Amino acid sequence: MAETKREIERKYEVPGAPDEPFELPDLGKVPGVAEVVDKGVLELDAVYYDTADQRLAADDITLRRRTGGDDAGWHLKLPVALGEGVRDEIRAPLSAQLPRSLAGLVRSRVREAPLLPVVRLLSSRDVSHLTDADGALLAEVSVDAVRAERSDGLGGTAWTEIEVELADDGDPDFLGKVEKRLRKAGADRSGSVSKLARALDETGAGGQTRKPPESPPSGTAGDHVIARLRAQRDALVDLDPAVRRDLPDAVHQMRVAARRMRSAFKTYKKVLDVAVTEPVAEELKWLGSELGVDRDREVLTERLTSRIDALPRTLLLGPVRGRLRIWAVARRQGSRRHTVAVLDSKRYLALLDALDALLADPPLRPAARKPAAGVLVAAALKDQARLAARVEHALSLPAGTDRDLAMHEARKAAKRARYAGEAAVPALGKQAKRFGKRMKAVQSLLGDHQDSVVARETLRHLAIQAHAAGETAFTWGLLYGQEQAAAADRERELPGVWESAAEAGLSAG
């Protein structure tokens, strides 16, 4: 069973030759430290794995099988967007083969490529614990004498480094206090993000071990559109392990990345050849639909729970909370299994490969060579006009099923117009950001209306189940009425919100 540990640490290079012993300065003088506890020396043996073209190292991800110490096993370290030196370490028990739980977390990057031994690191680790006056751990400080060996036997290197890891729930500012003492002793921050990165560099085992920084798009429409697509492709790949780990909002964000790419293919038909993008767009639609099983359940559960929480206790007749909980748990178990199965499917991996191929050789049309501003403005205004037609159509219909369907179609158009505004921000700046916000306001209103439509259908089914079980359906009917009223409110608000969005303009000048 895999377990996760949030790791916040800093690494330091020490002065002198690799074989020279290094003595830590007196860290008992660090503010807040009451005692430095010697924990002895550990002998660690770790083999690091990656693809032949080092796809994990390119994203600062490390995968190792380590023996020695009290955490022997498989370790996968994923960077966290919370600052330098912050990573999630997912651990699995020691075994001969990579556990499936970890293999899934790297699949969006590895795909079908085999994972091979890259380097072996042998570390003699001298460990000390910094504790406060109550004996609580503040940080673990290790002096590591490291020997790195290429798996092909063609080279090796050695060095000594200091690693300071913050205790769970510790104050990150404490690391700065420790750093001051280490710097006075001659230690400097390491230039490598990990031991693996340094080993690959110094042994010559690494190729292009890190992605080069993305350069800002040039002034052409093609460059801007491709940059937009590349960012969403990267988001899709990065979010894959987060979805598998069931992290908050991960499914939603992954679904949004797929939608943004689909929307870009539609909006920029004059920039990208639709004959090439359409098959990929269809697969993105499939992915978004499959992910929606989990996301829609999550949104609906939150909505109905909040409705129930807002009711006076005197209006909660029958086992309302229990029935909703049973419904939600049953749906969740099925949706989670379904989502992971989708991410493990060959169809999904083929989609990722197709996106890579499209971005490597984009099917650019003549308009791609034109200045970005004019092309992006024209595309966004066209999407806005499309939204206008759908809103006007929805408002022309009487309340009921047909209007509900028309408002749902308008919602889709609002998303597309919003994404067009977002994509234009690098070229057009504040006016595109303002345009996107106006379109988002329309989307949000229409989204709440659609959520009410879905909620009413679910409430109807729950009422039928309650009645069949001999329970009163009073509360479910009351909630149904609240959702009807909420939908009517959104319909009344739409003309005003749309009026503001219709006035949002864009200019290439």
CATH number at residue 188: 2.40.320.10
Claim to verify: residue 187 and residue 259 sit in the same structural domain: no
Claim to verify: residue 429 and residue 368 sit in the same structural domain: yes
CATH number at residue 262: 1.40.20.10
Q: CA distances (Å), 344 to each of 107, 122, 177, 188, in order?
A: 8, 34, 45, 43
Residue that is last in its domain, among 173, 203, 233? 203
Claim to verify: residue 271 and residue 330 sit in the same structural domain: yes
What is the number of domains present in the chain? 2
Claim to verify: residue 193 and residue 283 sit in the same structural domain: no
509 residues of the chain, pLDDT tens digit each: 578 999 999 999 987 766 677 788 999 999 999 999 999 999 999 999 999 999 999 999 999 999 998 889 999 999 987 667 789 999 999 999 999 999 999 999 999 999 999 999 999 999 999 999 999 999 999 999 999 999 888 889 999 999 999 999 899 999 999 999 999 999 999 988 889 999 999 988 876 545 555 555 678 999 999 999 999 999 999 999 999 999 988 999 999 999 999 999 999 999 999 999 999 999 999 999 998 877 788 889 999 999 999 999 999 999 999 999 988 887 777 778 889 999 999 999 999 999 999 999 999 999 999 999 999 999 999 999 999 999 999 999 999 999 999 999 999 999 999 999 999 999 999 999 999 999 999 999 999 999 999 999 999 999 999 999 999 999 999 999 999 999 999 999 999 999 999 998 888 76
Whole-angstrom distance, CA of residue 145 vs CA of residue 42: 11
Q: Mention every residue, 6+ apart, whose C-beta is less than 8 A from residue 470.
A: none
String of DSSP letters for 431-493: HHHHHHHHHHHHHHHHHHHHHHHHHHHHHHHHHHHHHHTT---HHHHHHHHHHHHHHHHHHHH
Element (DSSP H or E) covering residue 379: helix 372-396
Residue that is last in its domain, among 203, 229, 256? 203
DSSP-derived secondary structure letter, 503 = T
507, part of any domain: no
The gap between the terminal CA atoms of the chain, to the nearest Å, is 58
Whole-angstrom distance, CA of residue 499 vs CA of residue 489: 16
Helix ranges (H only) for 165-269 are 173-184, 195-203, 221-244, 250-267
DSSP-derived secondary structure letter, 135 = -
Residue span of the structural domain in which 452 resides: 221-502
Element (DSSP H or E) covering residue 320: helix 320-343
Q: Mention every residue, 6+ apart, whose C-beta is less than 8 A from residue 204.
A: 150, 154, 155
167, part of any domain: yes
Query: How many other C-beta atoms lie within 10 A of the C-beta of residue 487?
Result: 22
Claim to verify: residue 163 and residue 236 sit in the same structural domain: no
Q: Which of 9, 21, 10 is nearest to 160 (CA)?
A: 21
208, part of any domain: no
The residue assigned the tokens 């230039």 is: 191
Claim to verify: residue 227 and residue 190 sit in the same structural domain: no
190, part of any domain: yes
